Amino acid sequence: MKLDAKIPAGNLADKWTEHKVHLKLVNPANKRKYHIIVVGTGLAGASASASLGELGYNVSTFCFQDSGRRAHSIAAQGGINAAKNYQNDGDSIFRLFYDTVKGGDFRAREGNVHRLAELSVNIIDQSVALGVPFAREYGGYLDNRSFGGAQVSRTFYARGQTGQQLLLGAYSAMSRQAALGTVKMYERYEMLDLVVIDGIARGIVTRNMITGKIESFTADAVVLATGGYGNVYYLSTNAKGSNATAIWRAHKKGALFANPCFVQIHPTCIPVSGDHQSKLTLMSESLRNDGRVWVPKQKGDTRKPEDVPEEERDYFLERKYPSFGNLVPRDVASRNSKMVCDEGRGVGKSKQAVYLDFRDSIKRLGKAKIEERYGNLFQMYEQITDENPYITPMRIYPAIHYTMGGLWVDYDLMSNVPGLFVLGEANFSDHGANRLGASALMQGLADGYFVIPNTMGGYLGSGGIEKVTIEHPAFKDAEAKVKQQISQLLSINGKHSVDHYHKALGKIMWDRVGMARDAEGLNKAIADIKALREDFWKNVKVLGSGEELNQSLEKAGRVIDFLELGELLAKDALHRNESCGGHFRAEYQTEENEARRDDENFSYAAAWEYTGENNEPVMHKEQLTFENIQLASRSYK
């Protein structure tokens, strides 16, 4: 299989404009004859549904929550980047492009990232027009803050609820289309399979989560905007329902899965408090604007933080990275926190935490200012830990947060299966081996508002898509397989709950495929995951029936997909004999414990092909070329 990213030729800055001129168009009267399925109502799916509906396509949109507005995007806190240069601090489209490619440790495509930076400015305009109440200065102009990996202030925000406000904007635009009848909403519907006919994506099979009914839907194109797969680690900052089922099942129907091992671990999360822990809560990266990260210089120091004198504190990020300080990118901050904990200098009961201290900024700016900036986050922290961060420094530790990997797509955001488009966190396209803060919201909305309405026309306008019905054997076959899996899950009636398996998988993943990986641990993880999967099929216990609302059954389907995806993730990590971005292989580090990238051998995206159960996946390489940026070792010192 030859992977062609179809990056348009020409100048970097003109590629997208040129490409749009050459894309095929669908005439307005014909648009409503095309049926497009969008799975997902997060930023990517809601914005795609709204923009495709506005163009006049006939859109059906699915989500597993009871309302499109509850998609995981709602939880994003800190902000969204855009190269507006409203601050006059030297920002530009090129600088945002450069920061993103460098932040991604040179494992993303130049063409895609430049388009993303170009579109970033339109996103802010569009969102304001839809009523997003971004923070404003007293003069009425939009305000900005700083995020990691950048030396300019380009992050737009709505208190600590930026994702909520952007999603409500996209959801309202989608709701308007629903009222007009161009978008039909299917809530509490879970996609359980992709249907491919003659090599082309032609529809999906779903389960109605209230009645249990299995249904098929045909389409002229299918758009997956189903989010990331961070919950393969069980504990993560993702919503409990976030899952990989849609993309994993599409993968098993032929879509390539690219760079699964590129997973982001966020440095500032509230540490685990016990075995009952069900998810981890993020403390936004924006806190690192004013909080200082430290641990005691001495090992095993059990003093209260306020009793540790200044000269006995190690502000390790400021010490090691003087030019970025506490605002180094996430992968760097996370790894350094882990290192000091491994040295025995961690704090708190579990010793798996570092301090994030606001003492100095409260002294400098006053408590009121800190409260205005981070009030809701401080409250959230106190709610969970029963400690007051205005007095005692926060305790934080890294946690799984975001997945850069995902289904492989070309420049048009189409997978290798024609007619299957993948948007948002579900695809692999823009963040390379590490995503910079405030860039996921940007990507989701760029994909949905501005890329897909163009590239969808390019695909449908090229014609050649014949009508199919749900009577086609491919639909019948997919339905039968879905039903068969459900009845199998319900019939095992073994000894362990679904959560038991999910937690066990999470532990393997975190211990061996987490922040630091090595060949020995990865091989062990692969064997352990296989064994766990076998045990699942023998001993899982799923009660109730398939013809009703059944949360254990829903989880079981998702966990079995995680049990397969986890193995691929570990294999991808094992094959990549270098350290880059979120992927840190202990064997490949410099003397100063920094990541050692290997551009000569690994400057490519690894796109894996599914070849059947118990068969080894086959890797296809998309070689990355850098024409506008000089490959350099990534330094934040």
Ligand X SMILES: Cc1cc2nc3c(=O)[nH]c(=O)nc-3n(C[C@H](O)[C@H](O)[C@H](O)COP(=O)(O)OP(=O)(O)OC[C@H]3O[C@@H](n4cnc5c(N)ncnc54)[C@H](O)[C@@H]3O)c2cc1C
Instruction: Tell me the catalytic residues.
Output: 330
Helices (H), 388-518: 440-445, 452-461, 473-492, 498-512
Residue 99 sits in the site that holds ligand X (CB under 6 A): no
Shortest Cβ distance from residue 430 to ligand X (Å)? 11
As to burial, measured by CB atoms within 10 angstroms (0-12 exposed, 13-18 middle, 19+ buried), residue 366 is: exposed
Residue with tokens 């994702």: 163
Number of DSSP helices (H) and strands (E) in the chain, helices first = 18, 19
Give the x-and-dash track for 187-226 against ligand X (CB under 6 A).
Answer: --xxx---------------------------------xx
Residue (424 or 521) nearer to ligand X, CB:
424
Interaction residues for ligand X, span 431-470 (CB under 6 A)? 438-441, 444
Closer to ligand X by CB, 189 or 234: give it.
Answer: 189
148 binds, among ligand X, other proteins, none (CB under 5 to 8 A by kind): none
Residues 509 to 548 in contact with ligand X, rule: CB under 6 A:
none
Closest of 323, 479, 458, 315 to residue 393, by C-alpha: 315
Q: Give residues with Cβ within 8 angstroms of 226, minimum separation 6.
A: 39, 40, 45, 191, 243, 244, 245, 246, 247, 426
Minimal distance, residue 240 CB to other proteins, in Å: 6
DSSP 271: P
- Decide: residue 612, CB within 10 A, 0-12 exposed, 13-18 middle, 19+ buried: exposed
Q: Which residues have a Cβ under 8 Å from the Cβ of 297 and sit 6 or more positions away?
A: 312, 313, 314, 345
Q: How far is the CB of 542 from other proteins (least distance, A)?
A: 9
Residues 609/617, Cβ–Cβ less than 8 Å: yes
Q: Binding residue for other proteins (CB under 8 A) from 6, 136, 367, 369?
A: 136
Closest distance of CB 165 from other proteins, Å: 6
Distance of alpha carbon 447 from alpha carbon 438, whole angstroms: 15
* Nearest one of 453, 434, 437 to 445, comparing CA atoms: 453
Cα–Cα distance measured from residue 600 to residue 624, given in angstroms and rounded to the nearest whole number: 11
Q: Taking the complex as a whole, how short is the minimal distance between the CB of residue 211 and ligand X, in angstroms? A: 16
Confirm or reject binding of residue 552 to ligand X (CB under 6 A). Answer: no
Closest distance of CB 282 from ligand X, Å: 4
- Picked from other proteins, ligand X, none, the partner binding residue 240 (CB below 5 to 8 A depending on kind) is other proteins
Binding track, positions 56-75, relative to ligand X; x by CB under 6 A: ------xxxx-----xxx-x
According to CB under 8 A, which one of 151, 172, 208, 392 is a site residue for other proteins?
172
- Measured from the CB atom, the residue of 126 and 403 that comes closer to other proteins is 126
| Candidate ranges 284-292, 377-385, 470-478, 504-512; the one touching other proteins (CB under 8 A) | 377-385
Q: Is the dihedral of CA 43, 45, 49, 52 positive or negative?
A: positive
Under the binding rule (CB under 8 A), the answer on residue 126 touching other proteins is yes
8 Å CB contact between 295 and 606? no
Q: Which does 463 bind (CB under 5 to 8 A by kind): ligand X, other proteins, none?
A: none
Q: Which residues bind ligand X (CB under 6 A)?
A: 39-45, 62-65, 71-73, 75-80, 162-163, 189-191, 225-228, 237-238, 242-243, 245-246, 282, 401-402, 424-426, 438-441, 444
